A and B are shown apart, each in its own frame.
Chain A
Amino acid sequence: MSTTTETRRITTAKAMAEGIGLEMQRDPNVFVMGEDVGAYGGIFGSTTDLFGEFGADRVIDTPISETGFIGAGIGAAVEGLRPVVELMFVDFYGVCMDQISNHMAKIHYESGGNVKVPMVLMTATGGGYSDAAQHSQCLWGTFAHLPGMKVVVPSNPYDAKGLMISAIQDDNPVMYMFHKGGQGLVWMEKNPRSIGEVPEESYTVPIGKAAIAKEGSDVTIVTLSLSVQHSLDVAEELEAEGISVEVVDLRSLVPLDKETVLESVGKTGRVLVVDEDYKSFGLTGEIAAIIAETDPGLLKKPFSRLAVPDVPIPYARPMEYGILPTRDKIKAAVKDLMA
């Protein structure tokens, strides 16, 4: 990672696209395909300006045919290219999960390590804008559950670029799961942390290394994606109330940086896991298991978690915000831990 005095601030979406563009300049084997990634620039801005720079030959609009073009990405990767493929909404996984799970993620293993699938599958996640049950899910726990693919989940522009470059350079299939609300899009709720300082040059953020987004001593919030932004907002408010919150941004689910989590929990003795994915059988339970397996004595207070309470994402705003891990709920959960 290089240091820079650059203070340029850009959105997460632009940072992602910049990461892809730098890799495309560096390596002719890198190309992009997906629905509306061309002239449109990606529905959530992930390929902004790439079409103008690289043209239709390297930024390829596909038919609405996820099984077809994700499979084609796999085949191209098997033959040595480095495709960056976009699944527009992660909710569309149902029409192409065989390619993702049975092919992209298993070919390396099934082949005894003889065939590599160096492919990035980037996809938009998350709710908060009334897109309802089929366009608002996170589902990263589902992908992290299935072996064979790395899963990265950036929370801010700097990491978005660095993780993208790492993902493209990785010899494994990488699910790159970005949050629509964290892209810095002008047509979504404004989350100020979705615009940030990003160096112009190429750099990497290591896959599998969590970040301490904010240091603190009383409570650890383990979280990811847009919930990192919310947790940082809450931590700053609570600072004024005398509660010191440490925010661990996982950044990757596979591999998962257990050490950073355990170290922080060991320091604070209190943990809240915030996850916009479904509650049961997911990330929150996984973190609890890791702590319990390692040393249940790390916790001074019972384990606490905040996640979507096992219901599909509802449409109407009061209900949707009733189930999402909002700042209010995060704050209340931290205060409960301190009570």
Chain B
Amino acid sequence: MGELDRLAMYTQMVRIRQYESRIMQEYHADKSPAWDIGAGLIPGEMHLAAGQEPAAVGVCAHLKKGDAITAPHRPHHFALAHGVDMNKMTAEIYGRTGGLCKGKGGHMHLFDPENHFSCSGIIAQGLPVACGQALAFQRKGTDNVAIAVTGEGAANQGAFHESLNLAAVWDLPVIFVIEDNDWAISVPKDASTAGASNADRAAGYGMPGVRVEDNDVEAMYEAAGAAIDRARAGDGPSLIEIHTLRLFGHFEGDAQAYRPELATVNERDPIPKYAATLQELGELTDDQIASIQADADAEVDAAIEFAKASPEPAPEDALLHVFA
């Protein structure tokens, strides 16, 4: 495990939050007054990860060149924390030719082979792919690891259980990261899941399972570091479930009428909490808070400008890239 860099983790969380907040603004900006999900500069479903920054930042702080991530339909925080180019990612979300996937993927299908980053919009189905990436690392004799990210709702899918079993049977260098944000769209965990903790489910496969409470970035950092060290050393897979927070709706446009704790959600925001911790430790000044925020604002604004300046694809481009 490397040295804990608190300022870097805080900065990364702020950067992600600024990104998600601005994408939310941009997404809604030209969809009013008659809201239409397919309209506007950013069309389609939009699943934002504000509040879930500790999950991505705590894990990605340990990753190195060649390590892979498969993210689910809510992928931006892991993409940014893993070093995916913000400009190209934003252009992809805007459906432009300068995007990561030339406008073919969109926000749920971000592919960055240089960083071994991919997503799948199908619940839990990215996990088997991550196992395959881990299998490739194992076969090539590298010490790279694959991070398989999914939500707690996905843990009721067969693909989740097949992946845990395969990873355990083959001792794959894969770390399953479960983001438990309490809600599978509108269904609470206790109505959907037998056995409250997915860390427990790991035990059924002979795999260490850890649950990180309180959306705590440093606890996530430490658990992920231990799991990643273990995988790199050839000791096999682990599972980390973090109790995190979906600050926004399942997707943009979700009124969240089903969510009784909605009024108090902002009180659980992990970023101000972490800022307070760092200030208490004397590792973060007010000036730094302001400059980190200003840098994030500028970077995100530039990425949005980049995206908007990138040309739209031509209709006939749809026929390209079916086959290599």
A binding-site residues for B, Cβ under 8 Å: 31, 62-63, 65, 67-81, 83, 95, 98-99, 102-103, 107-116, 118, 147-148, 150, 171-172
CB-contact partner of B139 in A63, A76, A98, A112, under 8 A: A76
Asked if residues A77 and B324 are in contact (CB atoms below 8 Å), the reply is: no
Contact A75-B129, Cβ < 8 Å, known A102-B120, A112-B105, A115-B118 = yes
Hey, which chain B residues are within 8 Å of A113, CB to CB? 102, 320-321, 324
Hey, which chain B residues are within 8 Å of A109, CB to CB? 104, 321-322
- Contact indicator per residue, chain B 85-129, by CB within 8 Å of chain A (1) or not (0): 000000000000001111111000101110010101010010111
How many residue pairs between the two chains, A and B, have CB atoms under 8 Å in the bound complex?
146
CB-contact partner of B131 in A71, A102, A115, A147, under 8 A: A71
Hey, which chain B residues are within 8 Å of A118, CB to CB? 324
B binding-site residues for A, Cβ under 8 Å: 68, 70, 99-105, 109, 111-113, 116, 118, 120, 122, 125, 127-137, 139-140, 146, 158-159, 162-163, 165-166, 169, 320-324
| CA of A110 to CA of B107, assembled, Å | 11
Contact A79-B68, Cβ < 8 Å, known A110-B104, A111-B113, A112-B104 = yes
| CA of A155 to CA of B166, assembled, Å | 34
Asked if residues B162 and A65 are in contact (CB atoms below 8 Å), the reply is: yes
Asked if residues A72 and B320 are in contact (CB atoms below 8 Å), the reply is: no
Asked if residues B130 and A111 are in contact (CB atoms below 8 Å), the reply is: no
Hey, which chain B residues are within 8 Å of A76, CB to CB? 132-133, 135-136, 139
Asked if residues B122 and A112 are in contact (CB atoms below 8 Å), the reply is: no
Distance between B157 CB and nearest chain A CB, rounded to angstroms: 9
Contact A31-B139, Cβ < 8 Å, known A75-B128, A113-B102 = yes
Asked if residues A112 and B324 are in contact (CB atoms below 8 Å), the reply is: no
27 residue pairs bridging A and B, Cβ less than 8 Å apart: A63-B169, A65-B166, A68-B165, A71-B129, A71-B132, A72-B132, A74-B129, A75-B133, A75-B136, A76-B132, A78-B132, A78-B133, A81-B136, A81-B139, A98-B159, A99-B125, A99-B129, A102-B125, A103-B125, A108-B321, A108-B323, A110-B101, A110-B105, A111-B104, A111-B113, A112-B101, A116-B324
Asked if residues B166 and A79 are in contact (CB atoms below 8 Å), the reply is: no
| CA of A277 to CA of B169, assembled, Å | 37
Hey, which chain A residues are within 8 Å of B135, CB to CB? 72, 75-76
Asked if residues B158 and A67 are in contact (CB atoms below 8 Å), the reply is: yes
Give me the 5 closest cross-chain CB pairs, A-B, nearest first: A75-B132, A71-B128, A68-B162, A112-B102, A79-B136
Hey, which chain B residues are within 8 Å of A77, CB to CB? 132
Hey, which chain B residues are within 8 Å of A98, CB to CB? 122, 125, 159
Asked if residues B323 and A79 are in contact (CB atoms below 8 Å), the reply is: no
Distance between A218 CB and nearest chain B CB, rounded to angstroms: 37
Asked if residues A68 and B131 are in contact (CB atoms below 8 Å), the reply is: yes
CB-contact partner of B163 in A68, A111, A115, A148, under 8 A: A68
| CA of A108 to CA of B127, assembled, Å | 18
Distance between A60 CB and nearest chain B CB, rounded to angstroms: 8
Distance between B65 CB and nearest chain A CB, rounded to angstroms: 14
Hey, which chain A residues are within 8 Å of B132, CB to CB? 71-79, 83
Hey, which chain A residues are within 8 Å of B137, CB to CB? 79
Asked if residues A110 and B111 are in contact (CB atoms below 8 Å), the reply is: yes
Distance between B148 CB and nearest chain A CB, rounded to angstroms: 10
| CA of A115 to CA of B165, assembled, Å | 27
Hey, which chain A residues are within 8 Å of B111, CB to CB? 107, 110-112, 114-115
Nearest residue (CB) in B for A101 is B122
Hey, which chain B residues are within 8 Å of A108, CB to CB? 321-324
| CA of A71 to CA of B128, assembled, Å | 4
Distance between B139 CB and nearest chain A CB, rounded to angstroms: 7
